[in-house]
Structure 1
Amino acid sequence: MTSFKNTYLKNIALIGNSLPRRCGIATFTTDLQQAISTSPAGVKTAIVAMTDHGHAYDYPASVWLQIPDESLEDYIRAAEALNAGRFDVVCLQHEFGIFGGEAGGHILALLSRLEMPIVTTLHTVLAQPSPAQRRVLAQIVDTSAKVVVMAEKGRALLREVYGIPAEKIEVIPHGIPDIAFCEPDLAKTKLEFEGRSVILTFGLLSPNKGIEVMIDAMPLILKSQPDAVYVVLGATHPNLVRNEGEAYRERLIARALDLGIEKHVVFLDQFVDQATLLDFISMCDVYATPYLNEAQMTSGTLAYSFGLGKAVVSTPYWHARELLADGRGILVPFSDAETIGTEIATLLTDNARRKAMRVRAYASSRSMTWQRTAERYISLFDDAAPRRSRPNAVLSGGNASVHKLPAAPEPELAYLLSMCDDTGLFQHAVHSVPDRSHGYCVDDNARALVLAVTLNSSGEKLLPEPLTTRFASFVQHAWNPDKKHFRNFMSFDRRWLEDKGSEDSHGRTLWALGECARSDANASRRSWAAALFAEALPTVEMFSSPRAWAFTLIGLDGYCAAKGEDLVAKRMRRLLADRLVDILARVETEDWVWFEEGLSYDNARLPQALILTGLASETSAYVVAGMRTLRWLITKQTAPAGHFRPIGTDGFSDIRKPPQEFDQQPLEATATISACLAAWRADQSMEWKNEATAAFAWFLGSNDLALTLVDTDTGSCRDGLHRLRVNENRGGESVVSYLLGLIETRRFARISDQPAKLAPLRALRA
């Protein structure tokens, strides 16, 4: 769970169909209402349900009011009730056909009378609307503060066909249940399809779904996969039943009989609850959506199957084209039984390809879980609500910022203590058990020294003094005076495994020494740190690693604050900052605003180093370069759903390519928080508070998998996010990264809530 707490919104009303009415809009409205009501924001919800003519439903308690779709008077009464109920926002689920009047125009009588903002979700956007449909939709949009579509195609149509301004449109993908990735065998056994290769289509049965095309494809599939079975799960659409009974279903059954495949096509005339539906999706090997035309803006059935990590074969309707792009599924031509049969047969007989497609789909869908969908809707509702009623909104640059820092927990040090012995901090752990086989490294002990100094100088929970001394002792012992270099790796039996470590580990150790020289609570240790820093600094002049330069510059920020008279240090600070600016000028292009040809680890430390150096030396060029690169990096670290997405280790070797999503590491979030804190000191813009919020929230579950990485009771932190799960190991780097990020987040909250003071270079806001 995330720890975001909404402090303004209290009551939200959703207008649309609702379960137990049988339709996709009813399912969506109910799922969205439940996701919002169970979110950490603490928002109360109510559904205003549209009831179709001649029907009555046993609505649950979540349905606060119902409107007979043909009764104009009831729309007006509903508006009066909503106003009297003092709802903060109304969220309309719009689909042509669920409201009364010409082109569903009765809903306008309700919307025009509401006294609160309206956010409208458009489940269909017609490319060729009738005049009446265009008129009704235009009026709905005019009365809405924001409109939501679930695919980029919807955004494009709204702009091109209806002329709606871009700033009024938001794209929020269809929500999905948050279900673990699993193999289909267990569900097959439960549903009595054990030993079969299962192809599934589910949803209300109607002629536009293309079921007959899949039936025609089955003989071809059976040639290479004789055990295959096509399961068609779903009741016939109520409108179809009303007009022709079950004639369409009977025609499909007859078609299977004519082809002699009736034992391989199973019709289940059921409208199932979500738990049963998820069992059916879980058991299928391939999910098929053979819809007959492209004008399908949203498919909940596609979203659910994709979100459970299924191999999907689909015709290229609008939603499928976007969701299944880049190898996340297979697209086949409309009404082409031969091609769909060939592709499904190939998938069923190629386990490796099918598994790879499933993994891609599941990993890509983590930002679509109902929890994440609810977060995005709540943020949108908060944006739409009147700003004059929100005392907690902070104005920055003329725009209201509604992000609020997570309720950062108290720092707990129990796990950090368990990861230390009388030598120092262990590198790795197996789950939460220290792994002695990998020993220690100066990288982690230097980070731990930074943490110790930060804790002991920030008014937070103090680290036991002997432990701070132990980290300092490790750093001292790592110094090799013969090589003028720090060693890095040490075995459990206290043997150094090298004469000198990497350039980056040397720079990182200087960072720790610089912080210690400036801020350690112990005067003697401050003197020790300054002396060792001065001895180790000249080695850096020969380094070629930009990160080593950046770590050293961050250390110099502390050292020069303590030893401002050291001219050698000031010269080195200028030299290293100029090097960073120089390589930026050599590499930067219009769409690649970075120091290197690729992105790798601890990326935000490079902008942070330039910003800190520019502020300390009053050099505007450094600050401007640091702010520009940090803003660009943040765009690369922001997922489409808006949450923080660290640069994944899979892409560290990529040259000028979009970042890979996995594996995601804790130190990236911590580096981003630190860089945002430095940027805030430069211009005090609330954008940096928002970005730091998002980076810290990554630890607490606002991430691609919607899974928390930390145990706030002990202070442990998992080593990162894989494609389908968290890494349950909890090594030294991870726990220190989390605690550093936590302390800086808490510090950020304190200083950014104080009255603004003019930063030295505020005029340089980029």
Structure 2
Amino acid sequence: MPATVADRTVRLDHLAALSTPTGLFEHALGTAPRVEHGMCVDDVARALVLLARVPSPDARAVTLTRTYLAFVRAAQRPGGRLHNRRSPDGAWLDAPSTDDHWGRAVWALGTAAARLPAGLLALDAHRGATDAMAARSPHPRSTAYAVLGAVELLRVHPHHERATRLLRDARSVLARPRADGRWPWPHARLTYANAVLPEAMLAAGDVLGDEALLADGLLLLGWLVAEQTVDGRLSVVPAGGRGPGDARPGFDQQPIEVAAIAEAAATALRVTRDGAWATVLDRCAAWFEGANDVGVPVRDARTGGGFDGLERTGVNRNQGAESTLAWLACAQLVGTARPRVAW
């Protein structure tokens, strides 16, 4: 009897249900948007990355792309900073800054500029990315996300001056491995979306021809994956983080951590052509399908919704934007890849 093939179709039904002509609601109660909690650039930027990578978008996908791009552009202010939080009626609720949402916006705008078909949307994204790259962030994750956007832009516009300068400046913000084989991570604890840090190193190292930076990124990413793999499945960092000696498994595990590993594995696969990273990608998708510490699905394959966390007794049944986008990104990135070598 043939083995069952997992359904990894990128279905936008639930994402569309969380969206409006203005943007994307951050939270959900079950599947219903929590309108009172508003919207944020953090999630809309992730959504723009996802939509910009859809190879043959239908009319709904194009509409969502326009909405998300307009939201991010509306958040921008002179000097490169961005607002993050927005009320349901469209008012910005915070001061512009270069916190994590800034880095995600640069990632999204650079990706859209590079991957959308030539035309007004791609041109608008290019302008937005260029404007945002005038700023700098002191925060490592924000800088790492921005690096990913600069790399996307440089792959199609190799002489983009601001993108090149951003990559060069980022080298002083991205911390290198510690000389401790058991815990080479440059920080005392793993926290959230950890894999974006080594992903930025290897992506920037590849574009800049910086072999040392590339090697450091691969070392940290390889260690991070091994640190979060048990018996051939992912067992990821819980919401409270993890340090050396912490009990495992920890809960509640967040889908964003799995998506960050998938994004980094896809970059490592592109840069190194090492088939081991296809195995990692497959394990990321499999985590959502039930190959995790509890053995339950963390996504709704029928609608494309993602559950808001893996808990000791099951899943958080709410399907917010971050978790939904985490599942959709994994499904998108894994594509038709299958494990080719053991990790």
Do the structures match in fold with TM over 0.5?
yes
Q: Please state if 1:431 is matched with 2:30.
A: yes
Q: Distance in 2 between matches of 1:570 and 1:730?
A: 38
CA separation in 2, counterparts of 1:592 and 1:409?
34
- Cα offsets for 1:594-621 (capped at 9, x unmatched): 2322111111111111122222222211
Partner residue of 1:504 out of 76, 94, 100: 100
- Give the alignment partner of residue 491 of structure 1, picking from 83, 87, 105: 87
For the residue of structure 2 that corresponds to 1:649, the secondary structure is coil
Residue aligned with 1:486, SS: coil
Q: 1:735 to 1:461 in 2, by over 3 A?
A: farther
Q: Which has the larger radius of gyration?
A: 1
Q: In the TM superposition, what whole-angstrom CA distance separates every residue of 1:180-211 from its partner, at most 9, and x where no partner exists? A: xxxxxxxxxxxxxxxxxxxxxxxxxxxxxxxx
Conservation of the 8 A alpha-carbon contact between 1:547 and 1:605: yes
Bigger relative contact order (CA 8 A; separation at least 6): 2
1:244-283, aligned counterparts within 5 Å? Answer: none
Partner of residue 647 from structure 1, selected from 226, 231, 237: 237
In 1, Cα distance between equivalents of 2:57 and 2:200: 25
Corresponding residue to 1:468 among 65, 68, 71? 65
Once the two structures are superposed, residues 706-738 of structure 1 have per-residue CA deviations (whole angstroms, 9 ceiling, x without a partner) of 010111111111111122220000001111111
Q: 5+ residue gaps in structure 2?
A: none
Distance change (3 Å), C-alpha of 1:588 and 1:502: farther
Give the letter for the 1:466 counterpart: T
Structure 1 position 637 matched with structure 2 position 236: no
Partner letter of residue 454 of structure 1?
R
Which residue is equivalent to 2:6?
407
Give the equivalent residue in structure 1 for 2:75: 478
Q: What is the rounded CA distance, in whole Å, between the counterparts of 1:614 and 1:537 in structure 2?
A: 19
Q: Where does 1:658-697 land on structure 2 (aligned, <5 Å)?
A: 658=246, 661-697=250-286
Aligned residue among 540, 547, 564 for 2:141: 547
C-alpha displacement of 1:695: 1.4
Query: Residues 87-486 of structure 1 correspond to what in structure 2 (within 5 A)?
Result: 407-455=6-54, 458-459=55-56, 463-481=60-78, 484-486=80-82
**2:133 pairs with 1:537:** yes
CA RMSD in angstroms, aligned pairs only: 2.2
2 CA distance for matches of 1:657 and 1:544?
Answer: 29
Instruction: Return the match for 2:159 from 565, 572, 577.
Output: 565
Query: What is the 5 A alignment of 1:590-629?
Result: 590-629=181-220
Question: Take 1:573 and 1:748, find their aligned partners in 2: how far apart are those partners?
Answer: 30
Deviation at 1:682, TM superposition (A): 2.8
Three-state SS of the structure 2 residue aligned to 1:508 is helix
Contact 2:154 2:163 in 1 (8 A): yes
| Cα distance change, pair 466–681 in 1 and its aligned pair in 2 (3 A) | closer
Which protein is richer in strand relative to its size?
1
Rounded Cα–Cα distance in structure 1 between residues aligned with 2:266 and 2:9:
19
2 CA distance for matches of 1:611 and 1:720?
Answer: 29
Displacement of 1:464: 2.9
Corresponding residue SS for 2:46: helix
Q: What is the Cα deviation at residue 634 of structure 1?
A: 0.8
**Residue 553 of structure 1: CA displacement?**
0.7
Matched residues, number = 339
Counterpart of 2:34 in 1: which secondary structure?
strand
Q: Find the aligned partners of 2:24 and 2:275 in 1 and give their Cα distance.
A: 36
Q: 1:367 matched to which residue of 2?
A: none
**What is the deviation of 1:573?**
0.6
Please state how far the C-alpha of 1:648 moved relative to its aligned partner.
Answer: 0.6
Q: Provide closer, same or farther for how the CA distance between residues 727 and 638 of structure 1 changes in structure 2, counting only shifts above 3 A.
A: same
Cα distance per residue 1:386-408 (max 9 Å; x no partner): xxxxxxxxxxxxxxxxxxxx634
Conservation of the 8 A alpha-carbon contact between 2:153 and 2:160: no
Runs of 4+ residues over 6 Å off in structure 1: none
- Return the alpha-carbon distance in structure 1 between the equivalents of residues 130 and 336 of structure 2: 29
Evaluate the alpha carbon distance shift between residue 460 and residue 533 of structure 1 in structure 2; reply closer, same or farther with a 3 A threshold.
closer
CA deviations 1:118-151 (Å, max 9, x no partner) are xxxxxxxxxxxxxxxxxxxxxxxxxxxxxxxxxx
Relative to structure 1, the CA distance from residue 614 to residue 715 in structure 2 (aligned partners, 3 Å threshold; closer, same or farther) is: same
Give how far 1:588 is off: 4.2
Q: Does 1:527 align with 2:123?
A: yes
Structure 1 Cα separation of the partners of residues 308 and 201 of structure 2: 28
Residue identity opposite 1:476 in structure 2? R
Alignment of 1:518 with 2:114, yes or no, is: yes
Counterpart CA distance in 1 for 2:145 and 2:179 is 21
Counterpart of 2:176 (choices 581, 584, 605) is 584
Change in Cα spacing, 1:537 to 1:659, as seen in structure 2 (3 Å) is farther
**TM-score, normalization by structure 2:** 0.92
For the residues of structure 2 that align with 1:520 and 1:747, how far apart are their CA atoms?
22
Partner Cα distance (1:432, 1:513) in 2: 28
1:628-686: CA deviation from partner (whole Å, max 9, x where unpaired) = 001110121112x33111211122xx554547611111111111112112222233222
| Distance in 2 between residues matched to 1:725 and 1:423, nearest whole Å | 33
The amino acid that maps onto 2:282 is: T
Contact 1:598 1:657 in 2 (8 A): no
Whole-angstrom CA distance in 1 between matches of 2:198 and 2:6:
27
CA deviations on 1:478-537 (whole Å, 9 max, x unpaired) are: 1122x6411001111222111224511100100001101100125211111111211111
Residues 466 and 683 of structure 1: is their aligned pair in 2 closer, same or farther, counting only changes over 3 Å? closer
Q: Whole-Å Cα distance in 1 between the matches of residues 244 and 164 of structure 2?
A: 34
Q: Go from structure 1 to structure 2 and tell me whether the alpha carbon gap of 1:659 and 1:731 turns closer, same or farther (over 3 Å shift).
A: farther
* Structure 1 residue 460, shift from structure 2 partner: 6.7
Identity rate, percent: 30
Q: Which amino acid aligns with 1:706?
A: G
Residues 423 and 470, structure 1, Cα contact 8 Å, conserved in 2 = yes
Post-superposition shift, 1:568?
3.2
Question: Is 1:607–1:625's contact at 8 Å kept on the other side of the alignment?
Answer: yes
**CA spacing shift, 1:659–1:527, aligned 2, 3 Å:** farther
Q: Which residue of 2 aligns with 1:163?
A: none
Distance in 2 separating the partners of 1:738 and 1:547: 21
Contact 1:511 1:553 in 2 (8 A): yes
Q: Partners in 1 of 2:247 and 2:80 — Cα distance?
A: 36
**Matching residue's letter, 1:407:** A
Give the direction of change, closer, same or farther, for the CA distance of 1:747–1:610 in structure 2 (3 Å limit): farther
In the aligned structure 2, how far is the partner of 1:607 from the partner of 1:462?
A: 36
Residue 730 (structure 1) aligns with: 319
| Aligned residue identity for 2:90 | R
What CA distance in whole angstroms lies between the structure 1 residues aligned with 2:327 and 2:38? 21
CA contact (8 A) 1:508 1:548 kept: yes
**Contact map agreement 2:282 2:337 (CA 8 A) in 1:** no
Query: How much does 1:462 deviate?
Result: 6.7
Distance 1:656 1:503, change over 3 A: farther
Tell me by how many angstroms 1:565 deviates: 1.7
Are residues 695 and 464 of structure 1, via their aligned partners in 2, closer, same or farther at CA, if it must alter by over 3 Å? closer
Q: Quick one: which amino acid aligns to residue 480 of structure 1?
A: R
